[in-house]
Amino acid sequence: MLALYEYTAGRLAEMLRTKETSSVEITRSVLERIDAVEEKLRCYVTVSPEEAVKMAEEADRRLAAGDGKPLTGIPIAIKDNMCWKGHRTTCASKILHNFHPPYDSTVVRLLKEEGIVILGSANMDEFAMGSSTETSHWGPTRNPWNVEMIPGGSSGGSAAAVAAGEAVVTLGSDTGGSIRLPAAFCGVSGMKPTYGAVSRYGLVAYASSLDQIGPIARDARDIALLLNIICGHDPKDSTSVPRDYPNFSNSLDKPVKGMKIGLPREFFDKLEDPDVNRVMKDARQIYRSLGVSFVDLSLPHLDYALAAYYIIAPSEASSNLARYDGVKYGFRAENFDGMIDMYCRSRAEGFGAEVKRRIMLGTYALSSGYYDAYYLKAAKIRTLITNDFRKAFEECDAILCPTAPSPPFRIGEKMDDPIQMYLTDVFTIPVNMAGLPGMAIPGGFSSDGLPIGIQLVASHFEEARLVQLSSAFQKETDHHLKRPSL
Amino acid sequence: MKITTEQVEYVALLGRLALTSEEKKKYSAQLDDILKYMDMLAEVPTDDVEPMAGPVKLFTPLREDKVEPSLSVEDALRNAPAVAGSSFRVPKVIE
């Protein structure tokens, strides 16, 4: 028999409704699991067990009063870049090591209104800058399938926690692949919704035109349940799009027969890893057996997406991170000589190596004399990439491609080679550049038993179609049901 | 070299980062590599392409001009590294 922490949110919600269990029992089961494996994996920056039990007790009262919502009483972890009033939110950075937000982010407010139990904040790359969760000030998170391997990043803590049973579901954020990559590397499901679908109010900003919050979970059903909560217009985020969202759970059982999936050759031409190739071939086979047809496509500017991204994202970051000045909140250096020196030293001591590298890169790209050659050029290429996708979606309902060019790699392997690290995101970044929804789901395993994810991409605000395609795939496969032994 | 140590120093000052000489050396080399990688963008003709700042068409949302509670001084100061009365304490700026 499974322990409570091993069930999906959807199944636990049913058990709560039929009174087979209580939120306190579920929460205690997850907290015990955290006690048992957290030391090995380090999925969390902060766990708040007492607060979680209190929230669970409140959830049980709501459920008993018949006042429950679909996910009332389910334990979640949030990424450590989502403001939670009164709870330390560090962005995995020394510069915010003691920051206690005076307000809730919109996603946290929505979770509280749902009656979800917040367990704590999950580890991440510092300021979400990284593909491996190794740049965290608090140390790396380890991959539950093999603790010598990275879990992917930047939402590595969020993905590893779901894989290891240290949370039932989690929230991550995705600027260039930060939900989809760790979901793929940890053998779980993760979605980056359309830019503008989920409020960014209270999300610590990295690159504001790319950042998007989304769910990580064990299956498409749980992803749908979380999307139902977090998608929606928020007047506090001026890039939040006013529109109505469907009930995503309604798409779980819709047949996919007759759908057309695009296979952009630029994604597949670059594939060298035999395991990833095999998994992609298997995925095509499964969709074919479900009555899906395929169309070969070209996204001619895809090859430029990575270079353009590493101009745009650091440029926005250099501007966004100017707020960390050692004055209003966060770390201040002890020794300095005057105001400017205080800024320079506080930032030099407070930021880690990757964050400084990106601030340098972005400051350079925006500086006088280089703006046209770098930022403006990249912004134009972004238009071309977006147009490529628009044309592609005239011919297909969704795109199928790999999430990452390889299975998870070793801790430390790419830390001294930024370009190799950046290339990890080569298949996820184009999706952010165009603001599209993308979803990673487990597609199989490498010969070494490490998870490999497939990625589905749809047109703007077509999240329901991704839920539909993922759910259909998961009915035919059992990769998402496998759990690491710890 | 696409980027010199002098440029790295200048950019570090703009970015308000006090770098050690070791960091300057490391970032010169790494930024040079990264910028060389970005040279590929020059291949793409973009003269007639409109730049794109973000995926969402921005508009100016309007609301009623209503007085609402805002952050209290106490809450605003709670995370500050140094406070004096109801203000943030900073080093002397004006001589």
pLDDT, averaged in runs of 10, over chain B (95 residues): 90 97 94 94 96 88 90 96 96 85
Tell me, what amino acid is at A6? Answer: E
pLDDT of the residue at A375: 96
Q: Is the predicted pLDDT of residue A248 greater than 80, yes or no?
A: yes
Q: Is the predicted pLDDT of residue A183 greater than 80, yes or no?
A: yes
pLDDT of the residue at B57: 83
Count interface pairs A-B at CB distance under 8 A. 160
pLDDT of the residue at B63: 85
CB contact set of A75 (below 8 Å; sequence gap of 6+) = A23, A26, A27, A30, A52, A56, A116, A117, A118, A119, A167, A168
Name the 3-class secondary structure at A277: helix
What is the number of other CB atoms lying within 10 angstroms of the CB of residue A277? 14
Q: Which residue has the tokens 């100017």?
A: A322
Q: If you measure CA to CA, which chain A residue comes closest to B18? A: A344
Give the whole-angstrom CA distance, residue A236 versus residue A223.
24
Identify the band that residue A192 occupies on the pLDDT scale cut at 50, 70 and 90: very high
Closest CA to A104 of B75, B74, B66: B75
Q: B37 in a domain, yes or no?
A: yes
Give whole-number Cα distances, A49 to A56, A59, A135, A190, A243, in Å: 10, 15, 26, 25, 37
Percent of chain A with pLDDT over 90: 98
Is the ipTM here above 0.90?
yes
CATH of the domain at B28: 1.10.20
Interface test with A, best of B5, B8, B10, B11 (most A CBs within 10 A): B11
pLDDT of the residue at A74: 98
Q: B35 in a domain, yes or no?
A: yes
Instruction: List b or e across A332-350, with b for residues whose CB sees 16 or more CB atoms inside 10 angstroms.
Output: bbeebeebeebbbbbbbbb
- How far away is chain A from the Cα of B9, in angstroms, using its nearest Cα? 10
Identify the band that residue A270 occupies on the pLDDT scale cut at 50, 70 and 90: confident
Give the whole-angstrom CA distance, residue A194 versus residue A432.
9
Q: Quick check: B91 contacting A, CB < 8 Å?
A: yes
Q: B49 in a domain, yes or no?
A: no
Q: What is the pLDDT of residues A35-63, one digit of tens each?
A: 999 999 999 999 999 999 999 999 999 99
Contacts of B76 in chain A (CB under 8 A): 102, 328
Across residues A157-166, what is the average pLDDT?
98
Average pLDDT, chain A: 97
DSSP A172: E
Q: Do B58 and A356 touch (CB under 8 A)?
A: no
Per DSSP bridges, beta strands A75-79 and A117-122 are parallel
CB contact set of A45 (below 8 Å; sequence gap of 6+) = A80, A88, A90, A92, A120, A121, A122, A123, A124, A136, A138, A157
Q: Quick check: B9 contacting A, CB < 8 Å?
A: no
Helix ranges (H only) for A82-124 are 106-114
Identify the band that residue A169 occupies on the pLDDT scale cut at 50, 70 and 90: very high
Q: Quick check: B28 contacting A, CB < 8 Å?
A: no
Q: Do A377 and B30 touch (CB under 8 A)?
A: no
Domains: count for chain B: 1
Tell me, what amino acid is at A303? Answer: D
Q: B34 in a domain, yes or no?
A: yes
SS3 content of chain B, % helix, strand, coil (to 5): 40, 5, 55
Asked if residue A292 lies in contact with residue A182, where contact means CB atoms within 8 angstroms, the answer is no
Tell me, what amino acid is at A277? Answer: N
Q: Do B46 and A381 touch (CB under 8 A)?
A: yes
CATH 3.90.1300.10 fits A4-259+396-481, yes or no: yes
Residue B24 lies in domain: 5-42
Q: Do A322 and B16 touch (CB under 8 A)?
A: yes
Q: B79 in a domain, yes or no?
A: no
pLDDT of the residue at A301: 97
pLDDT of the residue at B95: 75
CB contact set of A486 (below 8 Å; sequence gap of 6+) = A36, A37, A40, A41, A144, A164
The helix (run of H) or strand (run of E) holding residue A421 is helix A418-423
Q: Do B63 and A235 touch (CB under 8 A)?
A: yes
Give the whole-angstrom CA distance, residue B36 versus residue A35.
47
Q: B75 in a domain, yes or no?
A: no
CA A277 to chain centre: 24
Q: Quick check: B49 contacting A, CB < 8 Å?
A: yes
CB contact set of B84 (below 8 Å; sequence gap of 6+) = none
Q: Which residue has the higher pLDDT, B58 or A198?
A: A198
Q: B28 in a domain, yes or no?
A: yes
Identify the band that residue A467 occupies on the pLDDT scale cut at 50, 70 and 90: very high
Name the 3-class secondary structure at A16: helix
Q: Which of A147-151, A169-173, A368-372, A431-435 has the lowest mean pLDDT?
A: A368-372
**Tokens for B52?**
């794109």
Following DSSP, what letter does each residue of A349-380 receive, concatenated? HHS-HHHHHHHHHHHHHHSTTTTIIIIIHHHH
